[in-house]
Copies of this chain bind each other. A is one copy, B any other.
Amino acid sequence: MKTFKVSEITLNVGQSVYLEGETSDKLYTILEGWAFRYKSMPDGRRQIVNYAYQGDFLGLQNSMTDKSPHGVEALTILRLCVFQKARLPSLFEKQPSLALDLTWLAAREERFLDEGLLSVGRRTAREKVSYLLWYLHTRALEAGLTFDNTLFLPMNQQHFADTLGISLVYVNRTLQRLRSSGCLTLTGRTLVIHDKTRLAELAGIDPKRPERRPII
């Protein structure tokens, strides 16, 4: 294990863990803070692909020699643990349970991405915004980042727009309408969920197929 860990680094808001198109032979775990993964088009259109926080791995999708197909940027101050990806094979040999953990994490990320695709592809704007807030709240719960249904969100409306595939202006209008529905408050960066069941309804989440409960 001592040869696997390389170092610990800290990034500031807006700094990149790695850029789209950059090659990196590193792996990262988040010790503290929020980041987002994104992809973009030649003309600058951007799609945020997922958010990540403590315990999440970054860089697993990158080969060691090719350019990264996505970028990762810090949303808050971000403390990272850095590993050499080349050490992975020997690590898997010495500690097979680590391989299982990584498989589990990858599977979890895939489930998130699948949900994201459903959102972006098939939900209406109202459902999209509802779902995103529901999702962030649910993940924050899982990570112990909420206090009494209140939650600090490090992203702004532009991030929402780029996550959901709608325009900034329409995110704003949709948020207004959600606020007036009464089931949540979002002032500045503070989100309070008053009625999560209602929010799930607005998001078009199937009540008969509940999300998996937080693992631990």
Contact = CB atoms under 8 A, between A and B. Distances in A.
Nearest to A164: B121
A61 B120 contact: no
A122 B46 contact: yes
Interface in A101-124: 102-103, 106-107, 109-111, 113-118, 120-123
A39 B114 contact: yes
A42 interface: yes
Contacts of A106: 60, 103, 106-107, 110
A122 B45 contact: yes
Interface residues of A, number: 56
A52 to B, nearest CB: 12
Contact of A110 (B61, B66, B118): B61
A154 interface: no
Contacts of A63: 212
Given A41-B206, A103-B106, A117 B49 contact: yes
12 contacts: A20-B209, A37-B114, A49-B118, A60-B106, A60-B107, A67-B209, A96-B96, A110-B113, A117-B120, A120-B120, A120-B165, A121-B163
Given A67-B209, A69-B212, A93-B96, 9 more contacts: A41-B123, A45-B122, A47-B122, A49-B118, A61-B110, A69-B114, A106-B107, A121-B165, A122-B165
